[in-house]
Chain A
Amino acid sequence: MIMSRKRTLLLMLSMLLAISIWSPLTARGASEHSPTEQVVTVTDSRGITLSLRSYPQRIVSLSPNITETIFALGGSDRLVGITDYCDYPEATRDIPTVGDLLTPNVERIVALEPDLVIISNLGQLQTIEAIERTGIPVSFIDEPESMEGTYEIITKTGLLIGKAEEAQLLIESMQKTMADISGIASEPHPTVYYVAGFGEWGDFTATGDTFIHDIITRAGGDNIASDAVNWSFQLELLHAYDPDIIILPPLWGSTFEETLQQFVDHPSYAPLSAVQAGRIITIDNNIIERQGPRSAQAAMQLAEQFLMHAW
């Protein structure tokens, strides 16, 4: 009895296996005949090609820029899960979160029964593996930290959710904004320093290897930290370069006014020319950090402020 039950189970398992091997093929065959059941085939940034038998209907986005992109492309009705950091646009409030960026809750993700999880952070690779083991399709979208990389992220997201045309339109409008910016960019380029962190425990800035650096450069700024890497910078270099303009995004949980007060009152920064002359500008760091639909807008905001200070 026991033996035969085991044998039955084994037989059922092998049948299931056979079906699961064949199913992608049959799905592909079927899609060629019926236009409603299109196949999604997207190679992600790991080089892994994901094939879906239909467009995903329950999507979990584990990155704020992907969430923004899905919203911008009009696919937000299919978002069932996002992270704590996905705060734009306003409507993200109504979508359940699955935890923070680096350690999302895998159980919560699985419980949402998604048919696609999109990830864009290398730190989440362990999470990806855990989700993939449960059989949920995962796409990893992480492109070079530049405007081209951003367009690629939008293109891939569009392909994945079946909004390729919308993605193309969005990219074209962003490219138009970027072309407008190069038209107004001031000459000569002002030297610029972006404050990613300051004060007690060191100075951090958008170094040459960051997306923010690319945005600053395209907005017509000459980033003094272009040769530095990994966000870290030394205070004495800031004084040695003494930049024309300082970009100061508000600190986490503070307003720009509070942050500005703290910055100009600090003895380490008070003597800088940009502080003395009041050439400190600001930008919402979420707009400039995230590689998404608002990236061109970030560049435009900077370009306009650079112009204002170029007398």
Chain B
Amino acid sequence: MVKKRFISPLAVTLLALLLLLLLTAMSLGPAGIPVSQIIHILSAGPQAGDSATTFSTAQHRIIWSLRLPRLLTALVAGIVLSVSGMVYQSLFRNPMADPYVLGISSGAAFGISLAAFLGIIGGATGIWQVPLVAFAGAAGTAFVILILSGGVRRSPTTLLLTGVALNFLLSALMTLFMYLNRAQLQSIMQWTLGSFSSASWAKLGILTVAAMIGIAPILFLTRELDILLLDESSAHALGVSVRTVRIILLGFTTFATAVTVAFCGTIGFVGLMVPHIMRLITGPQHRRLLPFSMIGGAIMMVGADTIARTALGSSELPVGVITAIAGAPLFIVLLVNTRRNSP
């Protein structure tokens, strides 16, 4: 984590809130298990079950192989998407940038659909291939965004419109694949909506490693991110190679985002909402904003997934629906503000 002289009480409060949320979320679900049982089940460890008398094997299985990996996957995905949003916003100097809005997430989903359509990945594919094709799709999209939007010199709207256009194009192509191969309709649909229902310990492991690889460079580049928010000539004057920093940051966050999409589908607006809310609390300095965005992203995603899991009783909602309902209005507010401020 970031070196800090003191631990902010606000950070402690947020961490406590996250812990409380995790415990509550673990007890909620169609097969409701009370919090008192949860403590017993958790302390029994992952292998126990048969010998215990305070809970059933089914309850143990539900917590250890279903709810726990799922909650932690949501937590890591929340961290990745919110940090990616924060980085994109600073890189492009655009308050509305986020992996979903810019089409990076769709790019990853497109990579997966294309590979599935071509038969590169399928039913018995190893757990590694999906993230790889997702990254290829996401990196391609990021590259196109970078070229088409002309870096950051153009207006914020140009960048957004480029993202919107790419989103349209990619989703049209994915729909085309669905029509050409009806058998994959269900799975491609799910990738476009986002869900944590397929979470497992193995995927969580890969996702966590990818998240650490994606976020680690940012820890060392918080000062450069601050400088990037100034104009490019000042950055040069301060000895920052804008191009190098931008490519490094974009590359690593796109990688983490792509792996998240590979395992959880496209989940929008978390990367947009969380950094904005956290900026109100911490100010724009990235050294402080980064850890807060991480905690905030975790809280938001675990909360959204819990709603998705429990709102409909025995069936569940796609989590992307919840985050879009919460995030899209904020996007509109930001858009109106930007239009008002720019000449």
Contact = CB atoms under 8 A, between A and B. Distances in A.
A and B assemble together: yes
A253 B31 contact: no
Given A201-B186, A225-B314, A228-B314, A236 B197 contact: no
Interface string A230-263: 1011111101101000000000110000000010
A138 to B, nearest CB: 25
A227 interface: yes
Contact of A201 (B67, B187, B314): B187
Contacts of B315: 228-230, 232-234
B62 A236 contact: yes
A237 B30 contact: yes
Given A229-B315, A268-B65, A236 B183 contact: no
B66 A239 contact: yes
Given A201-B190, A227-B314, A229-B315, A236 B198 contact: no
Given A225-B314, A227-B314, A228-B315, A236 B31 contact: yes
B9 interface: no
B309 interface: yes
Contacts of A230: 315
B277 interface: no
A29 interface: no
Nearest to A258: B123
Interface string A186-198: 0000000000010
Interface residues of B, number: 25
Given A199-B198, A242-B58, A262-B123, A236 B186 contact: no
Residue in B30, B67, B200 whose Cβ sees the most chain A Cβ within 10 Å: B30
A271 B61 contact: yes
Nearest to B57: A271
Contacts of B186: 197, 201
Given A236-B30, A239-B31, A202 B58 contact: no
A107 interface: no
B198 A201 contact: yes
B195 interface: yes
A237 B31 contact: yes
Contacts of A197: 186
Contacts of B309: 234
Given A197-B186, A228-B314, A240-B58, A235 B123 contact: no
B58 A239 contact: yes
B29 interface: yes
Contacts of B67: 236
Contact of B61 (A200, A203, A229, A239): A239
A253 B315 CA distance: 26
B226 interface: no
B316 interface: yes
B314 A237 contact: yes
A253 B183 CA distance: 9
Interface string B178-217: 0000110011001000010110100000000000000000
A234 B30 contact: yes
Contacts, number: 72
B198 A202 contact: yes
Contacts of B195: 201-202
A227 B315 CA distance: 11
Nearest to A202: B197
A267 interface: yes
A305 B59 CA distance: 29
B266 to A, nearest CB: 13
A239 B67 CA distance: 12
B164 to A, nearest CB: 27
B297 to A, nearest CB: 24
A229 B65 CA distance: 25
Contacts of A200: 187, 190, 198
Interface in B14-63: 29-31, 58-59, 61-62
A252 B181 CA distance: 12
A207 B309 CA distance: 18
B62 A240 contact: yes
Contact of A202 (B31, B61, B183, B190): B190
Given A202-B190, A262-B123, A267-B65, A235 B197 contact: yes
Contacts of A228: 313-315
A282 B1 CA distance: 53
Nearest to A270: B65
A143 B234 CA distance: 73
Nearest to A262: B123
A297 B123 CA distance: 32
B314 to A, nearest CB: 4
Contacts of B187: 200-201
Contacts of A239: 31, 58, 61-62, 66
Interface of B: 29-31, 58-59, 61-62, 65-67, 123, 182-183, 186-187, 190, 195, 197-198, 200, 309, 313-316
Q: Which 7 A-B pairs have the closest CB atoms?
A: A232-B315, A240-B31, A228-B314, A201-B190, A236-B62, A200-B198, A202-B197
Given A228-B313, A239-B62, A239-B66, 8 more contacts: A200-B187, A201-B190, A202-B190, A202-B198, A234-B30, A240-B62, A242-B58, A267-B65
21 contacts: A199-B198, A200-B190, A201-B186, A201-B187, A201-B190, A202-B190, A227-B314, A228-B314, A228-B315, A229-B314, A230-B315, A232-B316, A233-B314, A233-B315, A234-B31, A234-B314, A236-B67, A240-B30, A240-B31, A240-B59, A267-B200
